[in-house]
Amino acid sequence: AQSVTQLGSHVSVSEGALVLLRCNYSSSVPPYLFWYVQYPNQGLQLLLKYTSAATLVKGINGFEAEFKKSETSFHLTKPSAHMSDAAEYFCAVTGGGNKLTFGTGTQLKVEL
């Protein structure tokens, strides 16, 4: 079985500051991990995915995430926040099948 925990349901950063959204996973098998973003009134859009290749994964819009097996983490980062990054972010895990398990989401607010 797999599960994810997203620490912090709300994160607020200043424009230009580092964005760090936390995700810890639990999986009985080697995991596949994903980050999705959801803008208001829209569906989920894939930011990036980890599929057991490189542990540092680069995604769209300047986001990246690092898979750390020892810490069971897959935190999402972006060096410099932009106003357009304000959205809800979801971490998801699967053990290889097509059944994704999602976290509860982190709402990112970007302030001037």
Partner 1 sequence: ETGVTQTPRHLVMGMTNKKSLKCEQHLGHNAMYWYKQSAKKPLELMFVYNFKEQTENNSVPSRFSPECPNSSHLFLHLHTLQPEDSALYLCASSQERTSGPLYEQYFGPGTRLTVT
Residues that bind partner 1 (CB under 8 A): 9, 32, 34, 36, 41-46, 49, 51-53, 90, 94, 96, 98-105
Closer residue to partner 1, CB minimum distance, 81 or 87: 87
Of the pair 32, 67, the CB lying nearest partner 1 is at 32
d(CA 87, CA 111): 12
- CA 99/CA 91 separation, integer angstroms: 14
Q: How far is the CB of 23 from partner 1 (least distance, A)?
A: 12
Between 86 and 100, CB nearer to partner 1: 100
* CA-closest candidate to residue 105, choices 28, 21, 47: 21
Residue 36 CB, nearest distance to partner 1 (Å)?
A: 8
Nearer to partner 1, 35 or 75 (CB): 35
Please report how close the Cβ of residue 1 comes to partner 1 at its closest, in angstroms. 13
Alpha-carbon distance 85 to 87, whole Å? 6
